[in-house]
Structure 1
Amino acid sequence: MTAEGCDGSHNGLTAGTALAGSHEVVCHNDLSPKNTVYRPVDGALRPVAFIDWDLAAPGARIHEVAHVCWQYLGLGPAVRDVSDFAHRDALDRALR
């Protein structure tokens, strides 16, 4: 399936299947510009496929949507230093 002509009929394609198990659907878990194949269409680059499915696993739709927003829209901080992020995350959890 390509992005052009995507009509939403694929939404929830894995819902209720053995692949999703007790979760809602199977999520890509790493959708981002780096895992998107683009093609020129009418003078602009358009997404046509997603690649790198090694992190795909059962999950919740909302987590996939949140990750896509973070990656494509630049919402929230970028994680550049994993050890610093882990330290801040542990501190945040301790303060709750």
Structure 2
Amino acid sequence: MKGIQNELDLELQLIVSGTHLSPEFGLTYKEIEKDGFTIDKKVEMILSADTPSAISKSTGLGMIGFADAYNDLKPDVVVLLGDRYELIAAS
């Protein structure tokens, strides 16, 4: 991300979602900001339950949130990073 941020021909637009925004998981989006990155959009999508039904509903909320974020930011390319179901919503 630093490489993109430092490249004059590129614009880094950062969307943060999922557990990064959860107090239960330490609000880790603050670490991203401490590392010098601006968060352009936050997509709230996590329901407190961890059942299959809640995960499906969280994914649906994420799809709506990412659709809005992509509509607002109008990215040319999207790079996804993560290892949880939140990426299904973003893709």
Global fold match (TM > 0.5): no
In our comparison, the structure showing a higher alpha carbon Rg is: 1
Kindly indicate which of the two structures has a greater share of residues assigned to strand.
1
TM-score, with length taken from structure 2: 0.25
Kindly indicate which of the two structures has a greater share of residues assigned to helix.
2
Higher RCO (C-alpha 8 Å, min separation 6): 1
TM-score, with length taken from structure 1: 0.24
